[in-house]
């Protein structure tokens, strides 16, 4: 039986399909799509499946900076602030430290010294600046007639020792900044000495102690003097000349203020 289509007609129909955009055959025989019933498989609605349960996101953890701010603002005295720090559980440094290193010296002093973080000796004794760097600091203060026993109040940005004496991380500094700000408010010094890069970061928002040192700034409503940390002077004795100049600047500020 002869086919109803000759090869020329079949070729023309195939080319017409190509022009319409057809690129491949999907069956062994042609399909009259206009003659199919409305129940064709590709017109049928897809089978509904049970919707997967919505995943409920876990509640966001407490914002440690906001929590620190709330805890610090509730402290009416330095003793309250120490208790608030002791009860603060969101800083992981607390878990590895032996002691809470809060402060030393006379709280009513005109000068407040802010260091960086406790070291091994400070963690053992629970007081800031008691190791070799602290002993050098005492000699530096004595050279301008100051002392922690009578005329200086001392604290650190971090109250807990970082593991292996590493530098504090940015999130740790941010977490402790509200406590530090409240500490300054309650101690109410006339001026602040910032010892090292970390304290400059926490109070001034800047680092680069070798550029900042010796230049008075304003922060937390008070004059602020950045100085190199005594630990740096132990490693770099040649920097003691600049440290002595900074001490004289501090002495002059106290005398003229």
- Residue 19 maps to a domain: no
Whole-number Å distance between alpha carbons of 122 and 161: 8
Q: What is the pLDDT of residues 147-188, one digit of tens each?
A: 999 999 999 999 999 999 999 999 999 999 999 999 999 999
DSSP designation for 100: -
* Confidence at residue 49, expressed as pLDDT on a 0 to 100 scale: 47
**pLDDT average, residue stretch 129-158:** 97
Report yes or no: 198 and 116 within 8 Å, Cβ to Cβ.
yes
* Confidence at residue 251, expressed as pLDDT on a 0 to 100 scale: 97
Whether 221 has a pLDDT exceeding 70, the answer reads yes
In terms of pLDDT, which residue wins out, 44 or 19? 19
Phi, psi of 196 (to 5 degrees): 100, 175
* Confidence at residue 257, expressed as pLDDT on a 0 to 100 scale: 74
- Residue 114 maps to a domain: yes
CA dihedral (21, 27, 31, 34) positive or negative: negative
- Residue 77 maps to a domain: yes
Helices (H), 56-119: 64-73, 78-87, 93-96
- Residue 45 maps to a domain: no
* Confidence at residue 6, expressed as pLDDT on a 0 to 100 scale: 72
Look up the CATH number of the domain holding residue 142: 3.40.470.10
Least confident of 19-28, 42-51, 76-85, 167-176: 42-51
DSSP designation for 107: T
Count up the domains in the chain and report the number: 1
- Residue 240 maps to a domain: yes
Whether 56 has a pLDDT exceeding 60, the answer reads no
Model-level pTM? 0.76
Whether 39 has a pLDDT exceeding 90, the answer reads no
* Confidence at residue 7, expressed as pLDDT on a 0 to 100 scale: 66
- Residue 144 maps to a domain: yes
Least confident of 45-54, 67-76, 123-132, 217-226: 45-54
Question: What does 109-152 look like in DSSP terms, one character per residue?
Answer: -SEEEEES---HHHHHHTSSS-SHHHHHHHHHHHTTT--TTTTE
DSSP designation for 3: -
- Residue 211 maps to a domain: yes
Report yes or no: 123 and 101 within 8 Å, Cβ to Cβ.
yes
**pLDDT average, residue stretch 33-42:** 51
Exposure of 86 in the CB half-sphere (CA atoms within 13 A): 12
- Residue 155 maps to a domain: yes
* Domain range for 164: 64-256
Task: Rank 6-15, 54-63, 183-192 by mean pLDDT and report only the highest.
Answer: 183-192
Phi, psi of 159 (to 5 degrees): -90, -5
Q: Which residues pair with 155 in a beta bridge?
A: 114
């Amino acid at each position: 039986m002869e086919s109803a289509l000759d090869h020329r007609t079949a070729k023309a129909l195939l080319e017409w399909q190509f022009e319409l955009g057809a690129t491949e055959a999907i069956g062994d025989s042609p399909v009259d799509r206009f003659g199919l019933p409305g129940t064709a498989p590709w017109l049928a609605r897809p089978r509904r499946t049970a919707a997967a349960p919505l995943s409920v996101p876990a509640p966001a953890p407490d914002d440690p900076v906001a929590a620190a701010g709330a805890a610090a603002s509730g402290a009416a005295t330095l003793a309250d602030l120490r208790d608030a720090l002791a009860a603060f559980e969101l800083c992981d440094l607390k878990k590895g430290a032996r002691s809470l290193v809060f402060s030393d010296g006379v709280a009513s002093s005109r000068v407040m010294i802010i260091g960086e973080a406790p070291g091994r000796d400070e963690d053992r004794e629970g007081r800031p600046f008691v190791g070799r760097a602290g002993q050098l600091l005492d000699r530096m203060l004595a050279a301008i007639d100051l002392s922690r026993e009578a005329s200086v109040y001392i604290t650190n940005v971090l109250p807990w020792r970082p593991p292996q004496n590493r530098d504090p991380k940015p999130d740790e500094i941010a977490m402790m900044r509200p406590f530090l700000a409240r500490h300054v408010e309650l101690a109410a010094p006339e001026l602040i000495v910032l010892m090292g890069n970390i304290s400059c970061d926490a109070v001034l928002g800047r680092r680069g102690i070798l550029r900042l040192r010796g230049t008075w700034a304003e922060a937390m409503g008070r004059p602020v003097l950045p100085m190199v940390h005594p630990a740096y002077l132990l490693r770099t004795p040649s920097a003691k000349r600049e440290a002595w100049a900074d001490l004289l600047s501090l002495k002059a500020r106290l005398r003229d203020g």
